[in-house]
């Protein structure tokens, strides 16, 4: 298991999942454009060796887990593992928690700068997309904060933009755990909230920070369990928060309770720039510590970015667990990459109108991140989008098979199809396409018989054909 970003980069190099660019690349749009195209082409991760305006020892590493191969490498399984197996691997490991240990010091303390020595422009934060509100230093990060009442420590991945040499401004959604703790416990008392923004810890720590995980749950223990070994944490210089000791960069400071900073717009994970500059939380930096030659990890946010794999994966398993808890007959869930965490395919043992409505209500009762659900029967592999499209096209009744629920105050405001007016009041809707046969149809004479090789031929015939397949001259 990896202890830091450097081990992970070496592993990617050895599996052929890394490109190193020696040529000088500009932080203003060039780094972003290369990293963006690499996402869209499923290219390897990138190590940028020379960034304009910065010395040789300031490098950047982009798109750490934006392909399933790289997620597999991070998990220590075969790079060519099918998506379904990576999902299953996460499901197997997710329940085991291993609490972190504390160490006295670590590589992240190789350079320590405080007070007037702090300058956020020391790092080659990229202007990632044309029209972004500024340079984003935190794109693949891990924000550490603590609930002052219960001492619960949360890790979350939220974007942070350079506001000036001493401040970052960010956009943790109000429903995120950091947003909630800040609004519930610090803002009312006008207290500044200590926070540490970690960039470039081991890959599984960042994976855990981005995971859909329950309130009160500690992502540090989740990461330990997923890695199969406790993380080593070290104390901050200016607060009592703990951070991964092997991190590349740690930015320590406080989120101010009575100030905001203009943030965004930004080329968002759905693959669009929506909205205008808005009020973000303002993070005042007190100290920065980093390794020698700190590597800045970057997520080229947008279509087929890191969220399209990891957020999709943990989101899918969270949907499955939720439906199971409600006693719904769920078998498998897939949140396909191309759907940008807006759609899910849900396979159920049996469907029908009642089950469809219950699933829709369950998945939209609290927070509604996804707006398109597809319900399929067990004969459809949720990871085979061809089969899903076939079921949708043939089994979903255009009038009776479509269920919609409308809500306000809990819609995902980054959903591109919502109007500005809807976003302002978090108004939205989720549609469920029921691609299952109605429960009341007779299986004997009403449900059409599926006429594929697997389903319409007797076993004896299928076996004979399969054993002769290569002999007939077919290759695969
Ligand atoms: C690359 C990346 C960037 C993200 N940026 C944000 C963000 O700016 N704001 C936000 O609320 N969630 C963002 N997320 C999603 C959160 O990381 C995710 O919802 C996570 O569960 C938050 O942790 P929490 O539940 O402890 O708040 C991002 C995810 C990824 C993979
Ligand atoms: Mn959390």
Q: Whose CA is nearest to atom 23 of ligand 1?
A: 156
Which of 360, 346, 174 lies closest to 260, judged by CA?
174
Distance 267 CA to ligand 1 centre (A): 15
Ligand in closest contact with the CA of 306: 1
- Quick count: other Cβ atoms within 10 Å of Cβ 116? 8
**Ligand with the closest atom to the CA of 143:** 1
- How far is residue 230's CA from residue 252's CA, in Å, rounded to a whole number? 23
Tell me whether residue 131 is exposed, middle or buried, using C-beta atoms within 10 angstroms of its C-beta: 0 to 12, 13 to 18, 19 or more: exposed
| Domain 309-453, CATH number (from 3.40.1670.10, 3.40.30.10, 3.30.43.10, 2.170.150.20) | 3.40.1670.10
Residue 207 alpha carbon to ligand 1 centre in Å: 10
Cβ proximity of 418 and 428 under 8 Å: yes
Contact 302, 265 (CB under 8 A): no
Give, as residue ranges, everything with CB less than 5 Å from ion ligand 2: 154, 177, 213
Q: Report the nearest atom of ligand 1 relative to the CA of 176.
A: 27
109 Cα to the center of ligand 1, angstroms: 26
Ligand nearest to the CA of 218: 2
Residue extent(s) of CATH 2.30.110.10 domains in the chain = 5-307
Distance from Cα 334 to the centre of ligand 2, integer Å = 22
Superfamily the domain 5-307 falls into: Electron Transport, Fmn-binding Protein; Chain A (2.30.110.10)
**Of all atoms in ligand 1, which is nearest to the CA of residue 140?**
1
| Residue 315 Cα to ligand 2 middle (Å) | 13
Smallest CA separation from ligand 1 atom 10, residue: 172
Quick one: which ligand is closest to 177's CA?
1
Atom of ligand 1 nearest to the CA of 310: 31
**pLDDT confidence tier of residue 275, bands split at 50, 70 and 90:** confident
Q: How far, CA to CA in Å, does 2 sit from each of 8, 202, 231, 324, 376?
A: 6, 6, 10, 33, 38
What's the whole-number mean pLDDT along residues 114-135?
97
Report which ligand 1 atom has the smallest distance to the Cα of 178: 27
- Which residue minimizes the CA distance to atom 4 of ligand 1? 158
Instruction: Read off the pLDDT of residues 203-214 as tens digits, 9 standing for 90 and up.
Output: 999 999 999 999
Q: Could you give the CA distance from residue 453 to residue 392 in angstroms, rounded to a whole number?
A: 19
Ligand 1 pocket residues where CB is under 6 Å: 139-140, 154, 156-159, 171-173, 176-178, 210-213, 299, 306-307, 310-311
Instruction: Quick: pLDDT tens for 91-111.
Output: 999 999 999 999 999 999 999
| CA atoms of 293 and 59, how far apart (whole Å) | 7
Question: What is the reported pLDDT for 264?
Answer: 95
Query: In the block, which residue shows the tokens 């389903």?
Result: 455
Q: Residue 118 Cα, ligand 2 centroid: separation in angstroms?
A: 29
Check: CB of residue 316 under 8 Å from CB of residue 369.
no
What does the pLDDT read at residue 201?
98
Structure tokens at 274: 């929506």
pLDDT at 148: 97
Report pTM: 0.97
Nearest residue by C-alpha to atom 18 in ligand 1: 210
> Is the Cβ–Cβ distance between 172 and 209 less than 8 Å?
no
143 CA to centre of ligand 1 in angstroms: 10
* Centre of ligand 2 from the C-alpha of residue 311, in Å: 13
- Ligand closest to 212 (CA) is 1
User: What's the gap in Å between 156 CA and the centre of ligand 1?
Assistant: 6
Proximal ligand: closest to the CA of 140:
1
Burial of 163 (0-12, 13-18, 19+ CB in 10 A): buried
Shortest-distance atom of ligand 1 to CA 314 = 21
What residues does 171 pair with on adjacent strands?
Answer: none
**How confident is the model at residue 122, as a pLDDT?**
98
CB atoms under 10 Å from CB of 475, counted, come to 5
Please give, one letter per residue, the 3-state secondary structure of the chain.
Answer: CCCCHHHHHHHHHHCCCEEEEEEEECCECHHHHHHHHHHHCCCCEEEEEEECCCCCCCEEEECCCCCHHHHHHHHCCCCCCCHHHHHHHHHHHCCCCCCCEEECCCHHHCEEEEHHHCCHHHCCCCECCCCCCCCEEECCEEEEEECCCCCCEEEECCCEEEEECCEEEECCCCCCHHHHHHHHHHCCCCCCEEEEEEECCCHHHHHHHHCCCCCCCCHHHHHHHHHCCCCEEEECCCCCCEEECCCCEEEEEEEEEEEEEEECCCECCCCCECCCCEEEEEEEEEEEEECCCCEEEECCCCCCCHHHCHHHHHHHHHHHHHHHHCCCCEEEEECCHHHCCCEEEEEECCCCHHHHHHHHHHHHCCCECCCEEEEECCCCCCCCHHHHHHHHHHHCCCCCCEEEEEEECCECCCCCCCCHHHHHCCEEEEEEEEECCCCCCCCCCCCCCCCCHHHHCCHHHHHHHHHHHHHHCCCC
Neighbour count for residue 89 (Cβ, 10 Å): 18
Enumerate the CATH 3.40.1670.10 domain ranges in the chain, comma separated.
Answer: 309-453
Predicted confidence band at 276 (pLDDT cuts at 50, 70, 90)? Answer: confident
Residue 327: CA count within 13 A, CB half-sphere: 0
Give phi and psi for 372, each to the nearest 5. Answer: -135, 120
- Our mutation pick for probing the ligand 1 site, out of 157, 212, 335, 337, counting the most ligand atoms within 8 A of Cβ, is 157
For residue 367, what pLDDT is reported? 86
**How far away, in angstroms, is 211 Cα from ligand 1 center?**
8
Using the mean position of ligand 1's atoms as its centre, give its distance from the Cα of residue 198 in Å: 14
Q: At 409, is the pLDDT very low, low, confident or very high (cuts 50, 70, 90)?
A: very high
Protein residue whose Cα sits closest to atom 3 of ligand 1? 158
- What confidence score (pLDDT) does residue 105 get? 98
On the question of pLDDT at 221 being above 90, the answer is yes
Among protein residues, the one whose CA lies closest to atom 6 of ligand 1: 158
Rounded mean pLDDT of the chain?
97
Per-residue pLDDT tens digits for 345-398: 999 999 999 999 999 999 999 989 999 999 999 999 999 999 999 999 999 999
């Amino acid at each position: 298991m990896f202890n830091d970003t450097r081990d992970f980069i070496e592993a990617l190099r050895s599996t052929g999942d890394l490109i190193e660019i020696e040529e000088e690349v500009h932080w203003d749009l060039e780094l972003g454009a290369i990293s963006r195209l690499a996402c869209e082409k499923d290219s390897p991760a990138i190590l940028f060796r020379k960034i304009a305006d910065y010395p040789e020892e300031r490098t950047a590493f982009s798109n750490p887990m934006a392909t399933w191969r790289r997620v597999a490498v991070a998990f220590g399984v075969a790079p060519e593992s099918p998506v379904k197996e990576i999902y299953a691997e996460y499901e197997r490991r997710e329940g085991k928690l291993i609490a972190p240990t504390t160490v006295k010091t670590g590589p992240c303390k190789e350079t320590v700068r405080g007070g007037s020595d702090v300058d956020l422009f020391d790092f080659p934060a990229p202007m990632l997309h044309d029209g972004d509100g500024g340079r984003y230093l935190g794109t693949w990060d891990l924000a550490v904060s603590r609930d002052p009442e219960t001492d619960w420590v949360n890790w979350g991945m939220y974007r942070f933009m350079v506001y000036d040499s001493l401040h970052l401004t960010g956009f943790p959604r109000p429903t995120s755990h950091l947003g909630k703790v800040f609004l519930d416990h610090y803002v009312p008392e006008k207290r500044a909230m200590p926070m540490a923004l970690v960039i470039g810890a081991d890959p599984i720590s960042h994976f855990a920070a981005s995971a859909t995980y329950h309130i009160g749950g500690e992502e540090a223990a989740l990461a330990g369990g997923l890695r199969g070994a406790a993380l080593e944490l070290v104390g901050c210089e200016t607060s009592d928060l703990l951070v991964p000791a092997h991190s590349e960069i740690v930015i320590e400071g406080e989120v101010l309770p009575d100030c905001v900073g203009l943030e965004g717009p930004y080329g968002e994970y759905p693959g669009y720039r929506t909205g205008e500059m808005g009020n973000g939380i303002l993070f005042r930096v007190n100290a920065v510590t980093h390794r020698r030659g700190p590597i800045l990890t970057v997520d080229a946010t947008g279509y087929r970015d890191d969220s399209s794999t990891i957020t999709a994966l943990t989101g899918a398993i969270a949907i499955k667990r939720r439906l199971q808890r409600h006693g719904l007959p769920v078998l498998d869930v897939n949140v396909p990459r191309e759907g940008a965490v807006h759609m899910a395919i849900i396979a159920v043992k049996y469907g029908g109108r009642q089950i469809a409505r219950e699933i829709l209500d369950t998945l939209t009762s609290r927070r509604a991140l996804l707006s398109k659900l597809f319900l399929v029967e067990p004969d459809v592999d949720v990871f085979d989008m061809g089969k899903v499209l076939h079921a949708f096209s043939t089994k979903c009744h255009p009038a009776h098979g479509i269920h919609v629920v409308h809500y306000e105050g809990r819609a995902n405001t980054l959903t591109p199809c919502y109007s500005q007016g809807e976003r302002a009041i978090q108004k939205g809707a989720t549609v469920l396409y029921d691609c299952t046969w109605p429960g009341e149809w007779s299986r004997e004479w009403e449900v059409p018989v599926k006429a594929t090789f697997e389903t319409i031929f007797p076993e004896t015939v299928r076996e004979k054909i399969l054993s002769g397949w290569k002999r007939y001259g077919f290759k695969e």
